[in-house]
Amino acid sequence: MKDFTKGKEAGLLLKFSLPLILGNFFENLYNIVDSIIVGNFLGKEALGAVGASFPIIFALISLVIGIGSGASTVVSQYFGANQTENVRRTIDTVFIFFFIVSIIISAIGIIFSNDIFSLLKLPEEMMSDANNYLRIYMGGIFFFFGFSGLSSILRGLGDSKTPFYFMIASTIVNIFLDLLFVMVFHWGIKGVAWATVLSEIALFVTGVIYLNIKHPLIKLSLRKYIFDSSIFKSCIRIGLPTGIQQFLVAIGMMTIMGIINSFGTNAVAAYTAAMRIDSFAKMPAMTFSSALSSFVGQNLGAFREDRAKNGLKFTLIFSLVYSAVISTIIILFGGFLVHFFTSDQAVIEIGQKYLVIVSSFYLLLSVMFTLIGFLRGAGATLIPMLVTIASLYFLRIPAALFLSGKIGVDGVWWSFPLGWLAAAVFLVIYYFSGKWKGKTVIT
């Protein structure tokens, strides 16, 4: 556990962020390896099928992950205030919640997968692979939620190293199973999905066993779980706006996916490959934002607003410097990177254009992520939710529809930075208004 209320802010944030960044690096790595194996051994149709599944998966899990982020904030604030029993009750409450909703979400994904893909007008040649992948993935969603819950709670307690170690092990297992199931057993897209699910099962089970032995605050036992309705209300109040934001963002991204689907297999496959690279490139800036939330939560819980603001300043500096470097790399070598996923030249050209357009505006994205992280840690999640949703539905989606009709699929790519710009401007205005103050659970 890490106490963020003492010590130099910049050093604390860097030390806490590094394991998170490395953990997310490995998490993104096995998504990238999945796609590289699929694209090179199963073809561009299978690659597009995997990519088309992710907006749907995100839509189904986003509300729950939002509640998890709220629980992380509640844990960090109670920990900063030295209220150990409330930390324990928050942990129990969030795991009971995760268990119940995972059953519901899994059923929805399995039963309605074909209807969802049909609604999004996925090219017919991708339908079988997409359904097989999504149904298997959703069948194991409980274990994804389980480890996400463990990670959120540990971050709230200032422990970012433990999830990192387990993520490394899970990534190695997933890559090994990918190669075994696809290249040796020839299970096709089903093998890729099973590799992911089995690695998540191993990750969660191993994490529970380890924490029961080693960690005094996170000893998981079904016989001793207590659901605290008042704490759950705090998690909902803080986390639900983020969850609703992520859900509506996911629905918006499904809409954009539907637009991309209309341009055919090459566009879908290119988007899948480019998005893997894009997500990997954006990951550290997003991770700095997540670390800042825990830092801000603890310091505002301890009534140290000055330290919280210093954390914002240093996080913004870290993110902007990183974004400038990675943008340059992506612009120069985007086409070369897409080539790892496929040898189809048409797919490579479309993916390269996406990367050049989107990565040129990572600085805007860093500002947006950093402010969202600060406000989430402060418990002021409603306005960032409204800003993010408005920028998506009133600017990005209309721009994608209009521009794609004028300049083709490149118009979809240009809609992304337009949305980031609008969100960043409004979040800066809200931060300087000071209306985020007084939103913590500690009074």
Q: Where are the alpha helices (DSSP H) in 262-396?
A: 265-301, 305-338, 345-359, 362-377, 382-391
| Higher per-residue confidence, 407 vs 78 | 407
Q: How far apart are CA 85 and CA 90, in angstroms?
A: 9
Q: How far apart are CA 243 and CA 222, in angstroms?
A: 26
Residue 124 burial class via C-beta count within 10 angstroms: exposed 0-12, middle 13-18, buried 19 and up: exposed
Q: How far apart are CA 73 and CA 88, in angstroms?
A: 14
CA distances to 70, 154, 237 from 228, rounded to whole Å, are 15, 19, 14
DSSP 105: H
Residue pLDDT, tens place only, 174-212: 889 999 999 999 999 999 999 999 999 998 888 788 777
Note whether 137 and 57 are within 8 A (CB). yes
Q: Tokens in use for 154?
A: 């540990």
Q: What's the sign of the alpha-carbon dihedral 376, 382, 388, 391?
A: negative
* Helix axes of 397-407 and 229-261: crossing angle, nearest 10 degrees: 10
Given this model, what pLDDT does residue 222 score? 61
Which residue do the tokens 């930390």 mark? 87
Given this model, what pLDDT does residue 439 score? 67
Note whether 153 and 218 are within 8 A (CB). yes
Q: Tokens in use for 363?
A: 């600085």
Q: How far apart are CA 130 and CA 246, in angstroms?
A: 22
Low-confidence winner among 11-20, 183-192, 221-230 (lowest mean pLDDT): 221-230
Place 220 in a pLDDT band, splitting at 50, 70 and 90: low
Work out the end-to-end distance of the chain between its first and last CA atoms, rounded to an integer number of angstroms.
23
Q: Which of 115, 138, 352, 118 is nearest to 258 (CA)?
A: 118
224-227 long-range Cβ contacts below 8 angstroms, 24+ apart: 224/92, 225/92, 225/95, 225/96, 226/89, 226/92, 226/93, 227/92, 227/93, 227/96
Place 441 in a pLDDT band, splitting at 50, 70 and 90: low
Given this model, what pLDDT does residue 332 score? 94
Place 240 in a pLDDT band, splitting at 50, 70 and 90: confident
Given this model, what pLDDT does residue 137 score? 94
DSSP 438: T
CB contact burial 345-356 (16+ within 10 A = b; e otherwise)? eebbebbbbbbb
Given this model, what pLDDT does residue 345 score? 95
Q: Which residues contact 346 (CB under 8 A, 6 or more apart)?
A: 266, 270
Residue 85 burial class via C-beta count within 10 angstroms: exposed 0-12, middle 13-18, buried 19 and up: exposed
Given this model, what pLDDT does residue 381 score? 74
pLDDT above 70 as % of the chain: 95
Q: Which residues contact 320 (CB under 8 A, 6 or more apart)?
A: 363, 366, 367
pLDDT at residue 351 greater than cutoff 70: yes
- Kindly report the backbone phi and psi dihedral angles of residue 352, in degrees, each rounded to the nearest multiple of 5, phi listed first: -65, -40
Place 290 in a pLDDT band, splitting at 50, 70 and 90: confident
Q: How far apart are CA 203 and CA 175, in angstroms?
A: 14
Q: How far apart are CA 291 and CA 98, in angstroms?
A: 22
Note whether 196 and 137 are within 8 A (CB). yes
Given this model, what pLDDT does residue 325 score? 95
Q: How far apart are CA 76 and CA 159, in angstroms?
A: 11
Q: What is the mean pLDDT of residues 118-124?
A: 92
Residue pLDDT, tens place only, 378-437: 888 788 878 888 999 999 999 999 999 999 999 999 999 999 999 999 999 999 988 888
Place 1 in a pLDDT band, splitting at 50, 70 and 90: low
CB contact burial 215-252 (16+ within 10 A = b; e otherwise)? bebbebeeeeeeebeebbebbbbbbbbbbbbbbbbbbb
Highest mean pLDDT pick, 11-20, 189-198, 302-311: 189-198
Q: What is the mean pLDDT of residues 319-333?
A: 94
Q: Tokens in use for 356?
A: 């050049």
Residue type, 93: T
